[in-house]
Structure 1
Amino acid sequence: MKDVIVLRDLEQIKAISHPYRVEILESFKEEPLCAKQLAEILGEPHAKINYHIKTLLSAGILELVEEKIKSGIIEKYYLPVARMIVIDKSILNSSNDNIVQTLNQASISLFEKISDDFYRAAENNEIRSKHLRHYNEFYLTEDEAKEIMDILNEKLYEILENKNRKDKEGVRPYNIALIAVPDVRKEKNISKKSSK
C-alpha cells in the first residue's frame, strides 16, 4: 500500500464522493478485508458492500490483493491503494461545472462522515471543549483562507511525522477536520445593506 494516491481523474473523484465509500475506505487498517468482513464491520448487507467495492475497484482506489477458497466459495480480499487520498490541485482549481459539482459532492460526503463521527463521539460523551474550536466572522481573501489551512495542515503533519505514535502512552485515534467555509448568509446580508 502506498502512502498517498493523487486523484487526477473525474471518475476517481466521483467514486469517493459517496459517504458510504468513504466509510468503506476508513474501515481498512493494514490488513486486507473481504466484502463479508466489511459488511460485518459496517453492519450492512453484503450486496451493498459489493456494489461499492466494484465502484472503488474500477476507479483504481481499491485493489484486489488476494483470493482464498473457503467452503468452495472464492473470497476476494481488498486493500486501498494508498493510506491517504489527495485530489490534484489542478482539478481543485477547475472552473468546469461538472468538475466543480463533483468536488462539491465529494466535500459534502466528507462533511457527512465528519458529522457522523462527531455525533457518535457526542453520544458517548467524548466531546470536550478543548477538542472543539469555532472561529467565525473573519474577513479573509480566498488566498488568506487557503494559507491558514496550509499552515494548519503543515503543523499537523509535523506532529504526526513520528511513525511509532501508536505505541506512545495515552495515544488514541482522532479524526481532525480543518474547514474554512464562506459565510454566504452574512455575505448576502452585507450585499443587501450596501445596495440600499
Structure 2
Amino acid sequence: MKDVLVLRDLDGIKAISHPYRLEILESFGDEPLCAKQLSEMLGEPHAKINYHIKTLLGAGILELVEEKIKSGIIEKYYLPVAKMIVIDKSILNSNNDSVVQTLNQASISLFEKISEDFYRAAENNEIKSKHVRHYNEFYLTEDEARELMDALDDKLYEILKNKNVKDRENVRPYNITFISTPDIRRERNIKK
C-alpha cells in the first residue's frame, strides 16, 4: 500500500464523493477485507457494499489483493491502494462547472462523514472543549485562505509524523479536520 494516492481525474473524485464510500475506505486497517466482512462491519446489505466496491475498484482507489475459496464461493479481498487520498491541486483550481460540482459534492460527502463522527463522539460524551476550535470573521482572499490551509497541513504533518503507530500506550484514534468556509450570510450583509 502506498502512502498517498493523488487523484488527477474526475472519475476518481466522483468515486470518493459519496459519504458511504468514504465509510468503506475508513473501515480498512492493514489487513485486506472482503465484501462480506465490510457488510458485517457497516451493517449494510452485501449487494450495496459490492456496488460501492466496484466503483472504488474502477477508479483505482481499491485494489483486489487476494481471492480465497470458502465453501465453494470465491471471496475477494481488497485494500485501498494508499493510506491517504488527496486531490491534485491543479484540479482544485479548475473553473470547469462539472469539476466544480464534483469537488463540491466530494466536500459535502467529507463534511457529512466528519459530522457523523462528531455526533457519534458527542453522543458518547467524548467531545471536550479542548478538541474544538472555531475562529470567525477573518477577511481573506481565496489565495490567502488556501495558503492558510496549506500552512496548517504542513504544520500538522510536522507535528504528527510517526504518530500512526497503534500499539503505543494510552493512544486512541482521532480524526483531525480543518475547514475554512466563506461566511455567505455575513458576506451578503456587508454587500448591502
- Give CA deviations for 1:22-50 in whole Å, capped at 9, x if unaligned: 00000000000000000011010000000
What does residue range 84-123 of structure 1 map to in structure 2 within 5 Å? 84-123=84-123
Query: Displacement of 1:152 after TM fit?
Result: 1.3
- Give CA deviations for 1:40-63 in whole Å, capped at 9, x if unaligned: 110100000000000000111000
Structure 1 residues not aligned, in runs of 5+: none
Return the alpha-carbon distance in structure 1 between the equivalents of residues 5 and 119 of structure 2. Answer: 29
Helix, strand or coil at the partner of 1:64: strand
Residues 1:132 and 1:163: Cα distance change in structure 2 (over 3 Å): closer
Match in the other structure for 1:27: 27
Match in the other structure for 1:49: 49
Structure 2 residues not aligned, in runs of 5+: none
Return the alpha-carbon distance in structure 1 between the equivalents of residues 98 and 144 of structure 2. Answer: 26
Match in the other structure for 2:130: 130
Q: Which runs of 4+ in 1 moved over 2 A?
A: 163-170
- Give CA deviations for 1:109-135 in whole Å, capped at 9, x if unaligned: 000000000000000000000000011
Match in the other structure for 2:147: 147
Query: Displacement of 1:164 after TM fit?
Result: 6.2
Helix, strand or coil at the partner of 2:122: helix
- Give CA deviations for 1:149-193 in whole Å, capped at 9, x if unaligned: 11111111112212564333222110011000000111011111x
Query: Displacement of 1:148 after TM fit?
Result: 1.6
What TM-score, normalized by structure 2, do the two folds share? Answer: 0.97
Return the alpha-carbon distance in structure 2 between the equivalents of residues 32 and 82 of structure 1. Answer: 13
The sequence identity of aligned pairs, in percent, is 83
Residues 1:101 and 1:138: Cα distance change in structure 2 (over 3 Å): same
Return the alpha-carbon distance in structure 1 between the equivalents of residues 160 and 31 of structure 2. Answer: 21
Helix, strand or coil at the partner of 1:136: coil
What TM-score, normalized by structure 1, do the two folds share? Answer: 0.95
Return the alpha-carbon distance in structure 2 between the equivalents of residues 167 and 148 of structure 1. Answer: 33
What does residue range 148-163 of structure 1 map to in structure 2 within 5 Å? 148-162=148-162
Return the alpha-carbon distance in structure 1 between the equivalents of residues 165 and 16 of structure 2. Answer: 28
RMSD: 1.0
